[in-house]
A and B are shown apart, each in its own frame.
Chain A
Amino acid sequence: MAAVVGRRAPATSLVYGAALAISAALLAIVAGHLADNPGVVSAVALPLGLPWTGARFRLDSLSAFFLVVVNLGGAVTSLYGLGYGRHESQPHRVLPFYPAFLAGMNLVVLADDAFSFLLSWEFMSLASWALVMAHHRDEANRRAGYIYLVMASFGTLALLLAFGLLAGPAGTYAFDAMRAAHPGLLAAGAVLALMLLGAGSKAGLVPLHAWLPLAHPAAPSHVSALMSGIMTKVAIYGFIRVVFDLLGEPAWWSGVVVLLIGGATAVLGILHALMEKDLKRLLAYSTIENIGVVFASLGLALAFKANAMPSAAALAFTAALFHVLNHSFFKSLLFFGAGAVLSATGERDMERLGGLIHRLPVTSFVFLVGCVSISALPPFNGFASEWLVFQAILQSPELPQWGLKVIVPAVGGMLALAAALAAACFVKAFGITFLGRARSTAVERAHEVDRWSLAAMAMLAVFCLLAGILPGFVIDSLSPVTLSLIGDRMPVQTAQPWLSIVPIAESRSSYNGLLVFVFITISASLAAFFIHRFASHALRRGPAWGCGFADAVPSAQYTAVSFAQPIRRVFGSFAFRARETVEMPAPGALEPARLKVDFHDVAWETFYQPITGAIDFATDRLNHLQFLTIRRYLTLVFLYLVILLLVLALWP
């Protein structure tokens, strides 16, 4: 239907309105299910799909939680799309695929057999690919779409193999049967590796992340928010479903693998984000970092679960799910903000923005909320979930294996580094984009965006704050999920006095977001009051720190690149093989001095370029096969047959 009406003017409102209504309805249903009867599993088998298996769908607490994430994100995104979609130059390239994308994500989460899972997964991938290709006239977008398509197919192949291993020789593709069968050690390891490849490539684990910073920003901004904030969560759902639910009891080393990959992903993702000056690409790289945090936390949960420490495992698992929810809030918020900046100025390059706080006051305020949340500063939600992750890491000395005892604190250190770098990164993102002075004329003409977009962003900002100051409610509503997958839960949080959260015991650690929030509000208000009351009201204008130049031009401000330079100096040489070359003109010469920085994407050069090179070489050679004579084709077939017969004859 969307395809038919796509070209008409009211279609945008119609499609986004319908998507909003459906998402909200699904959200209400699922939230009601989760609240009223959390442990209940409802399943349905439709007579479609594979014979003897059918298309099975199932709603349990895990899928209910992820349905909440998907549909909350979908509803808010549709609300944003109501306003943002009007700026779309070719809405008929976006509208048909947008509801399909949402439906695909919902179906993945509900699927209860491998066939419908893979079908929905592919449906989701293809719909999002079509959205990435919405502006296909741009060469960079076409390349992003191509790489995305290749990586998505590769990921689905890995998932296919993983499900094949899980189904075993009997070939039972229903999840119930997989749950009952317990694969051997080797098969379990292979399934874990394949899931890391398949779900990891969709979520953006290093080194499978290469497509993500290309494809996510290429889509329209609200779709970027969906892909970054929600689709990566669906990938995490796939990983949890298989590794925690279908695979049975984990081995302790599986935790090590997931932990290390998660830690490396977090650090490398945020380092890349720091080097980026394109606002949307920065956000995409930051997604990689957050995925790393979630996977590290999941690895920790695996390690604890393997060592029969259910309460610690429940803590780590809750932290992962909580961070999933939080990331879907603030990453959507930040992408909406980037979309607002894009629609107001037409720019994504931070080096051409600046001073937007005067032009877009509301957007910049909610963007600031998103930045503070993602930088894990209290009292917002990012702090609550990352604090839980670190609480889980602090449980590691009780682990029996020496490998884990050493690795977990090391990964904790990496996560702490990533958190600090994330703060630096978002100081840069906010400061360069919204503060300072305008760096281009487009910024000077910018206007605040429409009400729909502002409403969506404000809603997410409120969610960020609420989840930050009342984390106890979120943690308690996650308990059915941990109960079903880990077999234990965190202590009841809402019963704690003053709405504190106490992960293990009061004597060890506790956090009260509400108190922190009240304290920060009161102290900040008092400080503002005293300053305004006792300092002079008079507006004073004087020369800025001129350093000898009284009228600094906007290009003399800190830029995104110069802001990140100290960090690049520290990490650049090993993480990016960065090289700086300075060309100083001779004294008296008129040409300007130049500072050139060479970057290398190490993952791209180590893993992808050899593969593409080999494929290019092979296709070049095999191209001759397209131009043989008929007799030679016959000869080839004949020789092939003879060789097969020979093999059969020589086979012992």
Chain B
Amino acid sequence: MNGLTFDIAHLLAGSLVLVSFMMLYQDRLFALINVFALHAVVLALSVAWQAYIQDAHHLYITAAIALVFKAVVIPVGLHRIIQRLGIHRDIETAVGIGPTMLAGIGLVTLSMVLMLRVTPEADPLAREDLAFALSIILLGLLVMVTRRNAVSQVVGFMSLENGLVLAATGAKGMPLVVEISVAFSILIAFIVIGVFLFRIRERFDSVDVGALDDYRGERR
């Protein structure tokens, strides 16, 4: 493999991790969704590059799905939800930005150490991809854990899924059917979560998941 293709793949996957980091310190919802859209765009680029270097044409479809749904449809939908819920001015203060960033750095280190150690014989491109994908998944989980608002938890979940797609495209020979079904399941999850958001909102006048706990009669 020549150096340039590897470097570009590396650059794109690395910038995906970087965008994940950006997601960690967004405390406004609109900003968070915008960063998520950027995340999806970078993912689409990365997948398209993989399709080009692996000469696998079906991956272009995956990239297109990522671009259309994740970079356009879902962010627009989330924007509308936020506007209809009237929570666009909410600021989240679950966990401080500093500790979150430090935790994120720790997680990325962990996934690098782990992946590079357990896959010594694998193709270097796939190795790097897997390591980055694991970091993105862990960062997505971190977003879900550190946020209190249901919308930002949804965003964390979606970015986690982006990491899965990255891992899947890095491995050669992933059938298209699998990716399409993953994309659709994410879309359905999005719809279901959206419905739930409105239901929670109707019931509790808030999408803070803490309200659910209050409803169960417990302290937080």
Query: Which chain A residues have a beta carbon within 8 Å of chain B's beta carbons?
Result: 627, 629-631, 634-635, 638, 641-642, 645-646, 648-649
Residue of A nearest to B147 (CB): A631
Beta-carbon contact of B110 and A646 below 8 Å? yes
Residue of B nearest to A633 (CB): B145
Beta-carbon contact of B145 and A635 below 8 Å? yes
Q: For residue B161, give the distance in angstroms from its CB to the closest CB of chain A.
A: 16
- Taking CB atoms and an 8 Å cut-off, the chain B residues in 20-60 that contact chain A are none
Query: Contact partner of B145 among A627, A638, A648, A649, CB < 8 A?
Result: A638
Residue of B nearest to A627 (CB): B218
Q: For residue B144, give the distance in angstroms from its CB to the closest CB of chain A.
A: 6
Residue of A nearest to B218 (CB): A627
Query: Contact partner of B213 among A630, A638, A642, A648, CB < 8 A?
Result: A630
Beta-carbon contact of A631 and B145 below 8 Å? yes
Beta-carbon contact of B111 and A645 below 8 Å? yes
Query: B118 at the A/B interface (Cβ < 8 Å)?
Result: yes
Query: Contact partner of A630 among B107, B110, B118, B212, CB < 8 A?
Result: B212
B residues near A631, Cβ cutoff 8 Å = 94, 145, 148, 209-210
| Known contacts A629-B213, A631-B209, A638-B145; is-contact A649 B218 (Cβ 8 Å) | no
A residues near B210, Cβ cutoff 8 Å = 629, 631
Query: B113 at the A/B interface (Cβ < 8 Å)?
Result: yes
Q: For residue B184, give the distance in angstroms from its CB to the closest CB of chain A.
A: 24
Beyond the given A631-B148, A638-B141, A642-B138, could you list 9 further A-B residue pairs with CB under 8 A, ordered by the A residue number?
Answer: A627-B218, A629-B210, A629-B213, A629-B218, A631-B94, A634-B141, A634-B145, A642-B107, A645-B111
Beta-carbon contact of B144 and A649 below 8 Å? no
Residue of B nearest to A629 (CB): B213
Beta-carbon contact of A629 and B220 below 8 Å? yes
Give 24 CB contacts A-B under 8 Å.
A627-B218, A629-B210, A630-B209, A630-B213, A631-B94, A631-B148, A631-B209, A631-B210, A634-B141, A634-B144, A634-B145, A635-B145, A638-B141, A638-B145, A641-B138, A642-B107, A642-B110, A642-B138, A645-B114, A646-B110, A648-B114, A649-B110, A649-B113, A649-B114
Q: Once bound together, how far apart are the Cα atoms of A646 and B109, in whole Å?
A: 11
Q: For residue B103, give the distance in angstroms from its CB to the closest CB of chain A.
A: 9
Chain B contact patch, size range: 20 to 34
Instruction: Give the top 8 A-B pairs by smallest Cβ distance, nearest first.
Output: A649-B114, A629-B213, A635-B145, A638-B141, A638-B145, A630-B209, A649-B113, A634-B145
B residues near A630, Cβ cutoff 8 Å = 209, 212-213
Query: B142 at the A/B interface (Cβ < 8 Å)?
Result: yes
B residues near A627, Cβ cutoff 8 Å = 218
A residues near B220, Cβ cutoff 8 Å = 629
- Taking CB atoms and an 8 Å cut-off, the chain B residues in 103-160 that contact chain A are 107, 110-111, 113-114, 117-118, 138, 141-142, 144-145, 148
Beta-carbon contact of A641 and B141 below 8 Å? yes
A residues near B142, Cβ cutoff 8 Å = 638
Q: For residue A58, give the distance in angstroms from its CB to the closest CB of chain B.
A: 47
Q: Once bound together, how far apart are the Cα atoms of A649 and B111, in whole Å?
A: 9
Q: Once bound together, how far apart are the Cα atoms of A641 and B110, in whole Å?
A: 12
B residues near A641, Cβ cutoff 8 Å = 138, 141
Q: Once bound together, how far apart are the Cα atoms of A649 and B112, in whole Å?
A: 10
Q: Once bound together, how far apart are the Cα atoms of A634 and B107, in whole Å?
A: 16
Beta-carbon contact of B118 and A648 below 8 Å? yes
Q: Once bound together, how far apart are the Cα atoms of A631 and B113, in whole Å?
A: 28
Q: For residue B132, give the distance in angstroms from its CB to the closest CB of chain A.
A: 15
B residues near A629, Cβ cutoff 8 Å = 209-210, 213, 218, 220
Q: Once bound together, how far apart are the Cα atoms of A235 and B136, in whole Å?
A: 56
Q: For residue B207, give the distance in angstroms from its CB to the closest CB of chain A.
A: 12
A residues near B144, Cβ cutoff 8 Å = 634, 638
